[in-house]
Amino acid sequence: MIKNNVNIKLGGEAGQGVESSGMGFAKAIARAGLYIFGVQDYMSRIRGGHNWYQVRVAERQLYSHEPQIQLLIAFDERTVEEHLPEVVEGGGIIYEEGFKVDEEAIKAQGVIPMPMPLLRIAEEVGGNKLMMNTAAVAAAAGVMEFDLTYIEQVIRDNFGRRKGSEIAERNIRVANAAFEEARKRYAPLFEWKLEPIPNAPKRMVINGNQALGLGALAAGCKFVASYPMTPASSLFEFMCAQARRFGIVVRQSEDEISGLLHCIGAAHAGVRAFACTSGGGFSLMVESLSLAGSTETPVVVVLAQRPGPATGLPTRTGQEDLLFALHAGHGEFPRAVLAPGTIEQCFYEMARAFNLAEKYQMPVILFTDNFLANSLRAIEPKVLDFAKVAAEIDRGKLLLPHQHEKIEAAVKDGYYRYEFTEDGISLRIPPGHPKAVYSVAGEEHLPEGFIDWEERADNRNRMVQKRMKKLEVAAQNDMRLPEFYGPEDAEVTLVCWGSSYGPVREAVDLLNQNGFRANMLHFVDIHPLDWERVADILEGCRSWVTVEGNYSGQLGQWIRMNTGLKPHGVISKYDGRPFNPVYILEHLQEVLARV
């Protein structure tokens, strides 16, 4: 028997409830005190096609999915065909017994076919064939001998409130029937079992976009304007759902240009604001980003990546926009670029993005991608520390128009919005106070804010230097160097950014377990950085290879541009699918062979 260590995949057509069943199953397993990692794969269509959801289960914290699975739950025939190669020897496939499935092919691979009367149970016990999903998930619980009460709870949570508990109770009857039947038939044949951990703490089951949303709320974000775009939409929707409760203004703008401009307007009024989008929408925001740079307006943009160019693979993942975001916008202006890699980092970095934006009065771009946005983990609630975020709120040199006394004390001989200062940061008083009446401009301006109609060279030089100085100060005072995971004295260092964190971390664990000393160097802060110190770190690595979800090794290029140091290789992936630890191991061998 293999206890609490399994990968389960559910597959079917869009509209069959693959994702909701998978997430429900993941939640039930997490409530039993186990750790989960959920990842979804779906196509850009509302019905048909092929979608899947995968849940990995263990007794320790998980950071990635694995390429091989032990139990496959097929909502359609195509799922069996498509995913049979991923099922390990001794694994099983649960499917409706009426499906036309090549059982011999399954058996030939050493996998157990587990046909089940799912349709009959759904119709006879539940009175509705739609309950086949419930039957299938319960059957999976049956073969793994997992305590069904956790699944019953999730069913009640999902259906209990909506149309009366009648639907919930019928689903529960279906679940019980399917569970018993599957256990009787297949549990004795199937090695992998799930056992609840007694007295385990309650954990949150949360994905990356939800963590970003919590981070934004914790940081006091009061304004969101965006245009829906996968994979940023779920973050936008989360903020919309919380708007009333937390007194936030959310606006669905006519396009992404307007979304960021709305945020610039709100931020200019003294409110914490963000826009979220994917690469295509970010392309539209580029002009406005430059305006935020020129007018020193603190805005946050969440750039949730998916593969391009153009519409690319709209429901898949990639890390292709790093160099784009770093250089987006005409002219030179300061910005910060952050790339959280875990759920926890999503929460804290989102909050920190607002602090950096306001402290340095510049736009901040925060990366996520389809993989991180949707990957699901179980974490302890206390890990997301709202009090800590609240204590760290830093609005920089900001005085709001209603803070009369402070403004009276601060403004003596007129207010200069872009006053030259040592650190390049000027006092920010949003419009509304009689002592601080001023006009700002995207055109090159004077310290008081007016356009410099003479276009004087000395004023231009000083303004450019003032703005760019902020990068230097931020790099010294606030930006964080990349961090290692794994043993110090490593043969090879896997260098990565953003969402690759999880798969690379697990790859490092596997390598060390197999006697190969490897570690990871993960960048959350991409720009600005103290590059001399980054160079020192990299020079201390015996060999280093970047692991990136793009074709051209963009982080490697960025490092080389700033330090002159060249990676010894790159493990890249641009097929729209996320990294997994086994993929990294396989490709590391190839890369090292070439070093």
Partner 1 sequence: MAVAQVSMKNLQSPVEPTWCPGCGDYGILNAVKRALVQLNLRPHEVFFVSGIGCGSKLPDYIRANGFNSLHGRPVPIAQGFKLAHHDMVVIVVDGDGDNYGIGGNHWLHAMRRNINITHIVQNNMVYGLTKGQYAPTSMKGFVSSTSPEGTIEWPINPIAIALAAGATFVARGFAGDPKHLADLIAKGIQHKGYALIDVFQPCVIFNRVNTYDWFRERIYKLEEDKSYDPHDKQMAWEKAHEWGDRIPIGIFYINEDLPTLEEQIPALAEKPLYQQEIPPKLEDLEALKLLFV
Q: Please give the residues from 453 up to 482 whose contact with partner 1 meets the rule CB under 8 A.
A: 453
HEC per residue, 330-350 = CCCCCCEEECCCCHHHHHHHH
Q: Which residue of 15, 331, 381, 487 would you call a contact of partner 1, by CB under 8 A?
A: 381
Would you call the peptide bond into 309 cis, given omega within 30 degrees of 0 as the criterion? yes
Q: Does 416 bind partner 1 (CB under 8 A)?
A: no
* 249 vs 409, beta carbon nearer partner 1: 249
Chain position carrying tokens 């231009």: 460
Compute the least distance from the CB of residue 279 to partner 1, in Å: 21
Q: Which residue of 115, 196, 280, 442 would you call a contact of partner 1, by CB under 8 A?
A: 442
Q: Which residue of 20, 61, 311, 439 would you call a contact of partner 1, by CB under 8 A?
A: 439
Q: Which residue of 200, 451, 468, 535 would you call a contact of partner 1, by CB under 8 A?
A: 451
Compute the least distance from the CB of residue 537 to partner 1, in Å: 34
Residue 261 in tokens: 């401009």
Q: What is the DSSP string of 477-541?
A: HT----EEES-SS-SEEEEEEGGGHHHHHHHHHHHHHTT--EEEEEESEEES--HHHHHHHHHTS
Q: Which residue of 117, 160, 431, 447 would you call a contact of partner 1, by CB under 8 A?
A: 431
Residue 90 in tokens: 């001794």
Compute the least distance from the CB of residue 413 to partner 1, in Å: 14
HEC per residue, 263-290 = HHHHHHCCCCEEEEECHHHHHHHHHHHH
Q: Which residue of 25, 190, 223, 236 would you call a contact of partner 1, by CB under 8 A?
A: 223
Compute the least distance from the CB of residue 338 to partner 1, in Å: 19
x/- mask, partner 1, residues 187-206, rule CB under 8 A, reads: ---------------xxxxx
Q: Let me know: does 458 contact 447? Beta carbons within 8 Å.
A: no
Q: Does 393 bind partner 1 (CB under 8 A)?
A: yes
Q: Does 125 bind partner 1 (CB under 8 A)?
A: no
Count the neighbouring beta carbons within 10 Å of the beta carbon of residue 164: 10
First to last CA, the chain: 42
Q: Is the dihedral of CA 206, 208, 209, 214 positive or negative?
A: positive
Q: Does 400 bind partner 1 (CB under 8 A)?
A: yes
Which of the ranges 77-85, 90-98, 426-434, 537-545 carries the binding residues for partner 1, by CB under 8 A? 426-434
* 39 vs 264, beta carbon nearer partner 1: 264
Q: Which residue of 105, 130, 390, 409 would you call a contact of partner 1, by CB under 8 A?
A: 390
Q: Does 342 bind partner 1 (CB under 8 A)?
A: no
Q: Does 218 bind partner 1 (CB under 8 A)?
A: yes
- CA–CA dist 248, 235 (Å, integer): 14
Compute the least distance from the CB of residue 294 to partner 1, in Å: 9
85: amino acid identity, one letter: P
Which of the ranges 78-86, 166-174, 218-226, 540-548 carries the binding residues for partner 1, by CB under 8 A? 218-226
Looking only at Cα atoms, what is the longest distance across the chain? 88
Looking at residues 13 to 72 of the shown chain, list those that interact with partner 1 (rule: CB under 8 A): 31
Compute the least distance from the CB of residue 354 to partner 1, in Å: 9
Q: Let me know: does 321 contact 304? Beta carbons within 8 Å.
A: no
272: amino acid identity, one letter: R
- CA–CA dist 547, 543 (Å, integer): 13
Q: Which residue of 97, 437, 532, 536 would you call a contact of partner 1, by CB under 8 A?
A: 437
* 225 vs 570, beta carbon nearer partner 1: 225
Compute the least distance from the CB of residue 437 to partner 1, in Å: 5
Q: Let me know: does 33 contact 200? Beta carbons within 8 Å.
A: yes
Packing angle of the helix pair 208-218, 233-246 (nearest 10 deg): 30
Looking at residues 267 to 286 of the shown chain, list those that interact with partner 1 (rule: CB under 8 A): 267-273
Q: Let me know: does 238 contact 213? Beta carbons within 8 Å.
A: yes
Looking at residues 551 to 590 of the shown chain, list those that interact with partner 1 (rule: CB under 8 A): none
x/- mask, partner 1, residues 492-531, rule CB under 8 A, reads: ----------------------------------------
CA distance readout (Å), 129 to 123, 125, 132, 165, 369: 5, 10, 6, 18, 36
Q: Does 160 bind partner 1 (CB under 8 A)?
A: no
Looking at residues 234 to 273 of the shown chain, list those that interact with partner 1 (rule: CB under 8 A): 242-249, 251, 253-255, 257-259, 261-273
* 287 vs 423, beta carbon nearer partner 1: 287
Looking at residues 276 to 335 of the shown chain, list those that interact with partner 1 (rule: CB under 8 A): 287-288, 291, 295
Task: Calculate the CA 280 to chain-centre distance.
Answer: 18
